[in-house]
A = this chain, B = another copy of it.
Amino acid sequence: MANETAITPTRDQDYPEWYQQVIKAADLAENSAVRGCMVIKPWGYGIWERIQAELDQRFKATGHENAYFPLLIPLSFLEKEAAHVSGFAKECAVVTHHRLVERDGKLVPEGELEEPLIIRPTSETIIGDSFSRWVQSYRDLPVLINQWCNVMRWEMRTRMFLRTAEFLWQEGHTCHATAQEAMDETKTMLEVYREFCENILAVPVITGEKPHHERFPGAVTTYCVEAMMQDKKALQAGTSHYLGQNFANASNIKFLNEKGEIEFAHTTSWGVSTRLIGGLIMTHSDDDGLRLPPKVAPKHVVILPVVPKPETQSEVFAYCEKIAKELRSLSFDGIPVQVTIDKRDIRGGDKSWSWIKKGIPVRIEIGPRDIAQDSCMLYRRDRGPREKQPTSIADLKASLPETLLAIQRSLYAQALAYRDQSITTSVKTLEEFKQFFANPQAGFVKAHWCEEVESLIALDEFKVTVRCAPLNENETQGTCVLTGKPATKQYYFGRSY
């Protein structure tokens, strides 16, 4: 594999196929026999567990509690919010029967339900039903709830992690006494997502407001965090919705305010999903496979015992166990260092490459000669696959936490530089806009837009969409890049997942 890459094709050759091959090579997930539904394998699920742990801690620190609501939603609930139902009716799994019987040697559905039920595509309506019981007085507010669960949206074109019929996510749902409090909550959770994406996933994101035609069905305002992948497409990584009183109206969530008057509550919802793993893969991986920022990696270090002769095996394994135990007592930024020893009886090269492809941050080789010198060979995944670093065991123990933090910083810095050099603010006219997006890997345009949906027709042929109006660094006065009309806000434009 001298000058070859571990992943074929490379990013340049065929980006979508490269993505699938990285997932396969890192053993993250596989397609299942059920259309559009994937199996998340242990290494992929380990990443999700890290995401859950980090987010859950942040949700609790901001006052939220977890709860669990039914998987199935009555049709009558969905119908309560008109925009909501039209947004989700086209792609939901419908349960119509509650048993199977054998007929002519074949299992067929029986016991038709009086009212069909849908598998939750999101839970505003079923959670709203509970909130209508929980909230009676201003003393009951705010209600700050989060749910970790599976949801289904019957997507026609699916892609592992990015768009699957079933996915795992968290959905926050909150209820407030005033519009201001609900808006503050919406923005607080957007900021939680930004900080998490940048500090844990090492994925730089733009925080912004979605254009009005791309709001969550039923929302007053939708905020988002948007990331840029290595093919320069945008990925919406998370959303936070200010729902006004729309869902409170639909679900009848009312309370007696301090003046003794009955009011509808103000609600929010916010969510991120296993899609984040797709974004993580496409932000950091290279042509040798996955690269994991240490803070989201299920394991940080693999020790690869080098056993030149069978009779040295027990000594090498015992030494590796000792080093593993010592490294496991370390932590970085409060995260305990996770160490594994790969004792498989396979060729050393295959073994190393399997961990390179899995993206583990640090590999350590230890053989009899290293043991004699109390040293090891260290490899960092953010450097070339053959770039080795002889290290004494004493130095390894002293520097490992800082090495992991350095890898975290270096992956973030690379992603940030890549993104920032792929954003232009110099596109000012429709002509320039079209020239820019004639390139299939163009990046983002940041420009003023008049917010008229009809003006977007010009973008269709380029498959470009308005991503969001950034909350920070947004110039108020300008000229719409599409129509030349006066405009008061800048937006990001780009192709997207």
Residues of A participating in the B interface, judged by any CB pair closer than 8 Å: 30, 32-34, 37-42, 45-46, 48-49, 65-75, 77-79, 85, 89-102, 107-109, 111, 116-119, 126, 129-130, 133, 139, 145, 149-150, 152, 154, 166, 168, 344-345
Contact = CB atoms under 8 A, between A and B. Distances in A.
B74 A34 contact: yes
A48 to B, nearest CB: 8
A424 to B, nearest CB: 40
Contact of A72 (B37, B89, B116): B37
B39 A154 contact: no
B168 A71 contact: no
B100 A97 contact: no
Given A68-B45, A70-B32, A150-B71, A101 B89 contact: yes
A41 B67 contact: yes
B33 A77 contact: yes
Contact of A70 (B37, B95, B116): B37
A97 B99 contact: no
B69 A130 contact: no
A70 B49 CA distance: 17
A34 B115 CA distance: 10
A263 to B, nearest CB: 20
Nearest to A93: B95
A469 to B, nearest CB: 32
Nearest to A78: B107
* Copies of this chain, tallied across the complex: 2
B42 A154 contact: no
Contacts of A344: 139
Contacts of A116: 97, 108-109
B95 A94 contact: yes
A65 B95 CA distance: 31
A282 to B, nearest CB: 21
Most chain B CB within 10 A, of A38, A77, A94, A109, is at: A94
B96 A96 contact: yes
A326 to B, nearest CB: 19
A61 to B, nearest CB: 13
30 contacts: A32-B69, A32-B70, A32-B126, A33-B77, A33-B126, A34-B70, A34-B72, A34-B73, A38-B70, A39-B70, A40-B67, A42-B65, A45-B65, A46-B65, A46-B66, A48-B68, A68-B168, A70-B166, A89-B102, A92-B98, A93-B95, A94-B95, A94-B96, A94-B99, A94-B100, A95-B95, A96-B109, A108-B116, A139-B345, A149-B150
Nearest to A114: B35
A154 B75 CA distance: 19
Contact of A79 (B40, B69, B107): B107
Nearest to A70: B37
A99 B91 contact: yes
Nearest to A111: B154
Contact of A85 (B75, B92, B107, B126): B107
Contact of A154 (B30, B74, B98, B119): B98
Contacts of A46: 65-66
A14 to B, nearest CB: 24
A57 to B, nearest CB: 12
Contacts of A101: 89
Given A71-B150, A78-B100, 16 more contacts: A32-B129, A33-B129, A34-B72, A38-B70, A40-B68, A42-B67, A71-B152, A71-B166, A75-B100, A89-B99, A94-B98, A96-B96, A96-B97, A97-B116, A100-B118, A139-B345
